[in-house]
Structure 1
Amino acid sequence: MAAARTKCTSIKWESLPPMPTKRTFSSATIVNNQLYVIGGCDKDGKPLDTVESLNLTKKKKWQRLLNLSCSRAQPAVVTVGNKIIVIGGVSADQSPLDNVDAYDVEKKTWTALKSLEEKLMGVVTCVHNNNVIVIGGMKLNTEPSEKCRVYDIDKNLWLTLPDMPTARYAAFAHLKGDKLYVFGGRQGKSACTVVEMLDLAEKPTPKWVKLADIPHARVFPSYTVTETHIYSYGGLQQQPKEFVDTFEAYDIEKGEWSTLENMPSKHGDFAGGVVGGMVIASGGLGPQQKPFQDTSVFNPSSGAWEIGPECPAGRSSATTLMHDGKLYVIGGFSPTGLTAEIFILKPA
């Protein structure tokens, strides 16, 4: 008989006022304590051009801002100074986009920037020395891209870094100092297990280095990061096609993977992050195909999963955002359909 799991009391949920617009597959960021929710899809799966914001200090009333230049779902979003940069995404006809736009949070205006060299969806991004790095993506012909591009915001100019050895889209990227790590992703319908690293400080030209592969192949896993480890957990394996409870950790210093105690249930599409030093898996979908409320908490100190506080409502396909040690769970699907609700998991 398995030992009873410990109850985690160091974290708690808070509810924010719901968005004016119900949506899923949106993108979000926080600038100057203002939450911005950008694009996404409506209940019919149609991409939106809607942009809304909420002051997180007052937490009272949402503002409808100027629309995006075009409807788009799941664009990549990064913040550089007082500008929100929105890159690519899925268009109204379900094809990739090359649009790049900047929203000035002080002037409250949009500016069209130099577009990508090709239309892409499923890119991943990070910011290095105030430049935006755009990695991989799915091309218009559905092939994965190996390109690694850099956008110089001051010069409105796209530059290139060396191509990744492994083309992919929907990967996970983590920048630690000058080292850019790219984990997994997809190549068509297949899961990619490759991990590669580019040291941006390497002179004269950085070179990609192949690291240890992710031990178990699956699509739609969640990734989250601490100072020492990158965790890969849950998702959907392809043979046989089912959700998994796999939980793996990559030791950044040692360059090694370890397989840890399985998650308490097999699922994917959940909200993941690190709150109060604990690794979080909240909501998501399992074999029952219905969003659930459970929050599981992995304690790195004990190496065991604990029972966290239930999310106020079942949730899947939510937009998730880590900011200031808090996990934001935005929109997505509840058991009754598309929702505009927003919850925050934070230290108690």
Structure 2
Amino acid sequence: MASKKDKKDKSGPFITGFGSWKAVTTALHNRLPSNKESMVPGVEPIPDWDPTSESSGPPPDTITPQQLQATMEHLAKKDEELGCLPPRVYGSLLECNDKVYMLGGTDITGQPLNTLFMSEDPLSDWYQLPPFKAPKAGMSTHVVDGKIFIFGGSNIKQAGDNSVEIFDTQSQTWTQGKTIPGDTFTGGRTVLHNGLIYLIGGIRDGVSSCLNTIMSYNPETDTWKLGGYPEMNYYRYAATLVLKNNLLYISGGREGKLACDGVECFSFDDNKITQLATYPSKKVFYQEFNRPQDQDFYLFGGMDYPSTSPNAASEMYRYDIRGNEWEQMPDMHMGRADMGVACFKDKLMAIGGVTVNARQQVEPTNQIEVFSPEERIWYKFKNTMPTPRFSPHVLEHKHKLFVYGGFGGKPTGALEKLEVH
């Protein structure tokens, strides 16, 4: 392992040119957004005639069947306001065909959800779409050919769920996919590669039954392949995955209730598992940072678990793929775990997270830090995020960075945007 770097001055420096945070107030509706044009191609609805209003009287004598249909469809698509976005944590925030979707997670009472929201512009209106069948949180999601696939998760009994549900964003309908092999399943991690979705590790029947398996799902044929893949060297769930070309780097997670420091690499070309250098920091809830143009990746932060004295890590390590060694990088300005992460303006943003205060109490933070791989410097962000939270949903959409939900003592429904100056 390379020599340990000196710890940097905790007082600065501060980054400029990244703007400030702004809380966003949005409206939630229970229908799709109304189109400016009629659903009937080439036919405009009659704007001054509403058949549901007695004051409108009978339809005009000149109305055609096409205009009547256009008017009815136009009125049927009027929005009913449901209020603002509800509190949510452990769901999925993703993008498909320039639209943003939020699904699943747990509400303010800790109950899993089966709701689905969509927005064409997260700064204004969100719309509630048809729900999926099995309420769940912590599931894995992927987008393939305009469809959203949901795998596993934790159900209303706080047990593993092995269902697969598929949402067609064009027809806005749900279908059931073939279930994950086995009775119960949660905690697995998935990655999309060459048209197949690979499921790595997981748990069956409680944390004592961790898996070391790799299986794949074909979204085109709705079939699973369980045999034919090598077994991992570690039984684990909630692992961190980094995909580089045709190699999948698997690190961390948990072996039962203990943190796992094992790192291994699965080759899609050779169908082999290779043991790699052990990760120097044995933590849970650490994060990964990976840019496609780089020949390495980073792991940072995390929390001791189990521990009688909580400790959030500020450490960061770079993995040199060609040298198979870990290099310690400068520390973050504060220890944190379970934070939001974004690669924004080609730099790493560590957003919020859970930290430990001077009284040795675990609490959410609203502090932001920015890491420059070229300079090897952690910068402080002068403007804190309005809402302290960990496990937030973070998404870059149309060159804007959004943070929604998360846990700040209880689940929050706050939606905030980074305004770039």
TM-score normalised to structure 1 length: 0.92
1:149 and 1:347, CA in 2 relative to 1: closer, same or farther beyond 3 A? farther
Q: Is the 8 A contact 2:108 2:412 kept in 1?
A: no
1:221-240 to 2 correspondence within 5 Å?
221-226=286-291, 227-228=293-294, 229-238=296-305
SS of the aligned residue for 2:204 comes to coil
Q: Which runs of 5+ in 1 are unaligned?
A: none
Q: Which runs of 5+ in 2 are unaligned?
A: 1-7, 27-83
Letter in 2 for 1:41: T
SS of the aligned residue for 2:141 comes to strand
> How many angstroms does 1:334 deviate by?
3.5
Letter in 1 for 2:171: K
Distance 2:201 2:216 in 1: 12
SS of the aligned residue for 1:218 comes to coil
**Equivalent of 1:71, from 115, 135, 151?**
135
Distance 2:419 2:135 in 1: 32
Partner of 1:306: 379
Partner of 1:110: 174
Deviation per CA, 1:64-110: give whole Å up to 9, x if none: 01111111011100111101100000000000000001111111011
Letter in 1 for 2:220: D
CA RMSD, Structure 1 to Structure 2 (Å):
2.1
Partner of 1:187: 255
> How many angstroms does 1:3 deviate by?
7.1
Partner of 1:62: 126
Distance 1:327 1:321 in 2: 6
Counting strand residues as a fraction of each chain, which structure ranks higher?
1
1:1-348 to 2 correspondence within 5 Å?
2=9, 4-12=11-19, 13=21, 15-18=23-26, 20-56=85-121, 59-118=123-182, 119-142=184-207, 143-160=209-226, 161-202=229-270, 206-226=271-291, 227-228=293-294, 229-238=296-305, 241-288=310-357, 289-308=362-381, 309-321=383-395, 327-334=401-408, 337-345=410-418, 348=421
Distance 2:138 2:248 in 1: 22
Letter in 2 for 1:6: P
1:110 and 1:91, CA in 2 relative to 1: closer, same or farther beyond 3 A? same
Deviation per CA, 1:290-333: give whole Å up to 9, x if none: 32221111222222211123213222221234567765422012
Q: Which moved more, 1:284-293 or 1:20-29?
A: 284-293
Distance 1:167 1:296 in 2: 33
- Of all paired residues, the percent bearing the same amino acid is 27
Q: Is the 8 A contact 1:275 1:345 kept in 2?
A: no
Q: Which moved more, 1:208-217 or 1:306-315?
A: 306-315
Letter in 1 for 2:272: K
Deviation per CA, 1:3-51: give whole Å up to 9, x if none: 7412212323455445522111111211012111111111121111111
Deviation per CA, 1:139-188: give whole Å up to 9, x if none: 12322111111111111110132222211100011222211111111111
- Greater radius of gyration (CA): 2
How many equivalent residue pairs?
A: 343
> How many angstroms does 1:122 deviate by?
1.2
> How many angstroms does 1:231 deviate by?
1.6
Q: Which moved more, 1:92-101 or 1:291-300?
A: 291-300
Distance 1:266 1:3 in 2: 11
